[in-house]
Structure formats: structure tokens, C-alpha cells
Amino acid sequence: MSGYFKEIYDGGKSLLVGMGITFRYMVQPVVTLQYPHETVPMTPRFRGHIDLACDQAGNHKCIVCGTCQRNCPSGCISLKGEKPEGAKKKLLIAYQLDFTKCSLCGTCVESCPTDALIFSKNYNLAGLSGQEFILDLLKRQEERSK
């Protein structure tokens, strides 16, 4: 019989302890971020997929040296350049990033001699097919500079 009352006492005590913890959290500030309604700014060192950086005039700084392509451990960068008639420098005509193979190591950004690559702040990508994430960075850069 004594065990019966002891169980009731212990159960009641643990219930009060638990409710005490619940009450303590209830009066503390709210930690939940109401995501689609409110967002947090990404930190300067956040790594999204890479993007071509814009200079003041809105142009990219890529010189088509191919260092990023050679240094990528996953082989997800492919770029193509062309030398127009009479020009001295190569011109970038295509820059494709296969983001589905990227591991965001940042070797491309580090190795770029002209700092033409940056990490984007695109943090909430989702899509209905994997093909959506083979990105044309040149097109993205042109759209941004408009």
C-alpha cells in the first residue's frame, strides 16, 4: 500500500517539475523564425552556389583562363571562351555550373586570379527536377547587371 502512495507522490512531483520547465520556456523569448514570413540575412561568408561577380560598370571580370575549371575537384564547372576577330583578349561566351555535383569547397573562388567568382546568397533553392540546378552563370550575371 505504501508503494501505491509513493508512486502517486513521485508522479505528481515529476509532473510539476516538467510543467515548471514548460512554464520557464513559455516566458522566455520566442526562438522560432517564421520562415516564409520573415527571414534572416545571410552572413558575409555564407556559401551558396558560385556566381560571376559584377564590377561597377556591371560587367563580369572573367578572363577565361580556365583555372576554376581545372581546380574543381568535382568537375562541375565548364566554361567556353572565344577570341573575336582582331581582339587581344578572349571573351567568355558560356559559363555552366552543375550545382548538383558541387560540394561548395570554394577552390574555384580561391583560385580565380581576377576575383571574378563570388558565393551567391541563394539559400532556399528547391525544384521539381535536378536539371534545374545546372545553372548558366553568364545569363544570371547579365540579368543581375540589368
Partner 1 sequence: MVTANAHLPIVHFSSLDKLLNLGRANSLWPLTFGLACCAIEMMATGVARFDLDRFGMGVFRPAPKQSDVMIVAGTISKKMAPGIRTLYEQMPHPKWVIALGNCAIAGGPFVFAGQYGIVEGADKIMPVDIYIPGCPPRPEALVEGLLLLEEKLTGSRRWPRVNPE
For binding to partner 1 (CB under 8 A), which residues are involved? 31-37, 39, 42, 48-49, 73-75, 98-104, 120-130, 132-133
Residue 77 C-beta: closest distance to partner 1, Å: 13
Residue 43 C-beta: closest distance to partner 1, Å: 11
Whether the CB-CB separation of 122 and 54 falls below 8 Å is answered with no
Nearer to partner 1, 80 or 98 (CB): 98
Whether the CB-CB separation of 50 and 117 falls below 8 Å is answered with yes
Which of 108, 95, 100, 91 minimizes the C-alpha distance to 127?
A: 100
Residue 83: enclosing H or E segment and its boundaries?
none
Residue 60 C-beta: closest distance to partner 1, Å: 17
| Torsion angle of the four alpha carbons 49, 54, 55, 56, in this order, in degrees rounded to the nearest 10 | -130
Nearer to partner 1, 100 or 113 (CB): 100
Nearer to partner 1, 8 or 125 (CB): 125
